[in-house]
Amino acid sequence: MNVRNWDDLIRKAVTEGNDALIASLSEQLSKCEKAHSILRAKGYGMQGSTIEATAALVPGKREW
């Protein structure tokens, strides 16, 4: 999903008071942060880098 889709989904959840959707979005964000932490602990990325930049450093399956 692109930024606009995420933005629309978040705004919809908040304006409609959709607690289940807000909880689902919060869980997704938490999992992304955890994945970023795992990659950083394995030596990928630099402090302050985005999750996309960090993930781009992980070699592809065939590159190992």
Let me know if residue 22 belongs to a domain: yes
Please give the Cα distance from 28 to 34 (Å, whole number): 10
- How many domains would you assign to the chain? 1
* pTM higher than 0.75: yes
**Confidence band, pLDDT 50/70/90 cuts, at residue 62:** confident
Question: Which domain, by its residues, includes 17?
Answer: 1-40
For the stretch 36-48, pLDDT in tens is 999 999 999 988 8
Let me know if residue 35 belongs to a domain: yes
- Using an 8 Å Cβ cutoff, are 39 and 32 in contact? no
pLDDT value of residue 63: 66
**Residue 3 pLDDT exceeds 90:** yes
Let me know if residue 21 belongs to a domain: yes
